[in-house]
Structure 1
């Protein structure tokens, strides 16, 4: 049966619940996913002075063909974007500066070091987001940066974050869409600390200094990202969820929730509606933790669906910035991007294909039997037929056909690196 025929049959079922699929497609096309560049090169970056990966970050595997410079990485992103429906954003770390071999330390980065990224983004009608890189550096070797006891080290990272905000503002001004600048630090202790407050006071002071420079929110939006624990910071992390949530609320910044940065029993989806009444905007880094913050490729699991449901049914698509954060070097990196991003979009589509107002009224009426029954029945509605039609409509490969493109690209490009 053709994609169109299967879609028409599915359309009848959804329209019986007053779900207009053309309206759904229009809304879905307007949602940009911020796709992380670091899947393509295993979080290596392009600095002239190379540093070993650190900060509790592990990239496992040695699949051939990883990008080794900006031109290769952008070419790989082009291929991945050609397989993903919609217009999206690209998320950069500071280590992806291109300095033409000149050794520039991170407190010295400037917009000119990212001109090639902006030129490419303009050509492809993409937005850019940004992250200062406070790991994989000699001045972060002991696992402390903005909360470090050494004032000189703190000041180095403060200046790096200030420079990063200026780079992001350049992105926003040039591309006509504000960049989201997200600050994550690895700071913490492996064993039980004797003083938790002092490092947190230092972090607060560092953040205050970073944000002291006023930047137009039309060009740059600031976010802070928490973490529960990491390798080397198992006992204590300075920037906890409570710390950053409080800081963001008090200082009018975005609180960014990374789905890998919480206890395995915590549901990030549940936090969204808890925070929306008090925050104008939220940000997400969607990952898949497997027992810890392991940054696995995003799959269409229950939690991903629930995250999308919380955003869609609460009419928060314009209030939640959705980014991805995973890296797997054991599989084809372009396939990883494609699988993860398509799954995020699938989850948003799935969330649109439920009669939310009806389900809400059932809950208000205390009719929990019908609510549960309908939620379960909709799990086997012909969602796949709608997804395939959407892909065809957006002129990207339907179902698993994208794998053929990836295999050909691996043969033509990746295998020759």
Structure 2
């Protein structure tokens, strides 16, 4: 059966549930996802400040890792051609592009060090988001914004302020708001004797960062928590409670990363609560597996639940990004699988008769609610997804991997050979 026939049958099935498939596709096409650049090179970056640290580890040694700006943007462009829709690019400060002899430390970064990325974004119709890089640096070995060493603390304060001004330049040139997300790896491996003082120093650092004069209509600052990491298993300074309260008091965005909580916690349950008290919310969609928070996103239960809450809560109030890194598989494929999985989950949510389900709950008709929820699991989502990809000019599910494999043979294999010479 042709894809158009399958689509017409699927649309008819959804219509019986009161769902307008065309409206769902139009909405999905307008939902941007901020795609993380660091999947392409295992979070190493370009500034060479030090080995990846802060509990971050990309495992595996799949050939073809991008090693410079030219290679990374080529890989990103390849992934974008296989991902439907128009999206954003999420950069870390460690991806500054320096001219020979012009390298500066992170507290001296300026917009011109990211002009190649701005030009790249213009060429590809992308918005840009930004992250201070408070790891992978000699001054991040012990602590950053919560450091007992005032000189170290001030270095990272200057870095975060520099990043806000860089994001402001993104917004000016691209005529679009830019999100700056602050995450720190500060914490302790074993049981702390003093939990308050590091958090007081973090609060003071954030307060000082925010004394910077910047245009809040152009730059949205977010803070991101984590429950634990490698080497900080017992205590993280930037806990969820700390950042949730700090963001609320200072009118910042609180960013929820789906891999940064206890294994029994899910951010899908937090979204509705957060939006009752905040105008906007930021998400990093990842896939936690036991202690590791950054596996490639799949079309799994939690991803679908996150998407349901995004659509129920008003997607216009939520800034969606991906955040994972896997060096054990083809890195372009990892981008494509992860981002498309988020989009499939969003499409599934858009094709869900939300008002009908909510009304059944309101009337406490729980048998019918459960039965309909189970029925929807077998709905013909795939036929609709294939047509969405076709309309967006990207390969369908059975086709995109062939293009990645061809790129691996033509580009990635040669890249690895040249590196070994």
TM-score, normalization by structure 2: 0.97
- For the 8 Å contact 1:261–1:293, the answer to whether it is kept is no
Counterpart of 1:119 in structure 2 is: 119
Partner of 1:361: 359
Question: Which blocks of at least 5 consecutive residues in structure 1 are unaligned?
Answer: none
Q: 1:12 maps to what in 2?
A: 12
Deviation at 1:293, TM superposition (A): 3.1
1:260-275 alignment, distance < 5 Å: 260-275=259-274
Secondary structure of the 1:92 match is strand
Map of 1:319 onto structure 2: 317
Q: Which structure 2 segments of 5+ residues have no match?
A: 416-421
* Residue-by-residue CA offset, 1:217-249 (whole Å, 9 max, x unaligned): 232100000000111111100000000000000
3-state SS of paired residue (2:192): coil
Give 1:383's match in structure 2, choosing from 370, 381, 389.
Answer: 381
Q: C-alpha deviations, 1:194-217, integer Å up to 9, x for none?
A: 111010000000000111113212
Q: Does structure 1 conserve the Cα–Cα contact (< 8 Å) formed by 2:260 and 2:293?
A: no
Alignment partner, residue 39 of structure 2: 39
Query: How far does residue 267 in structure 1 lie from its aligned partner after superposition?
Result: 1.2
Find the counterpart in structure 2 of residue 178 from structure 1.
177
Q: What is the DSSP-based 3-state SS (H/G/I as helix, E as strand, rest coil) of the residue aligned with 1:410?
A: helix
Residue in 1 aligned with 2:97?
Answer: 98
- Counterpart of 1:203 in structure 2 is 202
CA distance in 1, matches of 2:352, 2:191: 47
**Deviation per CA, 1:20-50, whole angstroms, max 9, x where unpaired?**
1111111111100000000000001111x44
Partner of 1:401: 399
The aligned length equals 414
In the alignment, the residues of structure 2 paired with residue 86 and residue 413 of structure 1 have an alpha-carbon distance, to the nearest angstrom, of 25
Q: 2:255 touches 2:281 (CA, 8 Å); kept in 1?
A: yes
Partner of 1:344: 342
Contact 1:170 1:219 in 2 (8 A): no
Q: 1:196 and 1:402 mapped to 2: Cα distance? A: 49
Offset of residue 400 of structure 1:
2.4
SS at match of 2:399: helix
State how far apart, in whole Å, the 2-side matches of 1:46 and 1:411 are: 25
**Distance in 2 between residues matched to 1:322 and 1:293, nearest whole Å:** 21
Question: Displaced runs of 4+ in structure 1, greater than 6 A?
Answer: none
The 3-state SS of whatever aligns with 1:239 is: coil
**Given the two structures, how large is their TM-score scaled by the length of structure 1?**
0.98
Q: CA deviation at 1:145?
A: 0.3
